[in-house]
Amino acid sequence: MGDRQSRVALLVDHSRNPRHEGVLEDADVAMPGGSPECGGSVVVYLKGDGNGGVRALSWTGEGDTISMGATSVVVEKVHDDGLTMQDVLDLSYDELVERLGRDVIGNRTRNATMGLSTLKSAIRKYLKDHRALPKERTVA
């Protein structure tokens, strides 16, 4: 995707103007992740539709440009593409890093994937708590 400058600009834009940020008061799951001493920390708020779909999704966090920007990029994708829970579980960490730019992320892959890994943890907890089986794609 574009040159390095545009890849940096994407992360900077998302970290400074985070999409879908905020506490979801009636979330089914509030999942913490990351570390405040190492890149950043997030809390992912997830509400399911009981049928393998995502009814609502938001996040809060504090951290560096890569961790906050990448979390915002992932959450926006779930919303915009209407991903189901299974779709999210199938998202590849490698592809995320590739999309964000390996030349930008360098060795900080943990920062870049912190949001996605926390989101996956939130979904696994939701599925475990609700014994819901992920089904076909639904609109977020």
Partner 1 sequence: MSEQQITEKNYAHPEALVSTEWVAEHLDDPSLRIVESDEDVLLYEVGHVPNAVKIDWVEDLNDPLTRDYVDPEHFAELCSSKGIGPDTTVVFYGDKNNWWATYALWVFRLFGHEDVRVMDGGRVKWEAEGRPMTQEESSFGRADYPVHERDDSAIRAFMDEVREHSERGGPMIDVRSPGEYSGELLHMPDYPQEGALRGGHIPGAANVPWARAAREDGTFKSADELRSIYEGEAGLKQGDDVVAYCRIGERSSHTWFVLKYLLGYDKVRNYDGSWTEWGNVVRAPIER
DSSP states along 67-113? HHHHHHHHHHHHHHHT--HHHHHH--HHHHHHHH-HHHHTT-HHHHH
93 burial via Cβ count (<10 Å: 0-12, 13-18, 19+): middle
Q: Restricting to residues 45-64, which ones interact with partner 1 according to CB under 8 A? A: 64
Which of 38, 89 has the CB closer to partner 1?
38
The contact mask relative to partner 1 for 95-134 (x = CB under 8 A, - = no) is ---------x-xxx--------------------------
| Given 19, 20, 21, 38, the residue binding partner 1 (CB under 8 A) | 38
85 belongs to the binding site for partner 1 (CB under 8 A) = no
Size of the site for partner 1 (CB under 8 A): 19
For residue 40, the cross-strand partners are: 35, 63
Least Å distance, CB 23 to partner 1, is 14
Q: Are 15 and 72 in contact (CB under 8 A)?
A: yes
Q: Is 12 an interacting residue with respect to partner 1 (CB under 8 A)?
A: yes
Closest separation in Å from C-beta 37 to partner 1: 6
CB of 51 to partner 1, least distance (A): 29
Work out whether 2 is an interface residue with partner 1 (CB under 8 A).
Answer: no
CB 114 within 8 A of CB 94: no
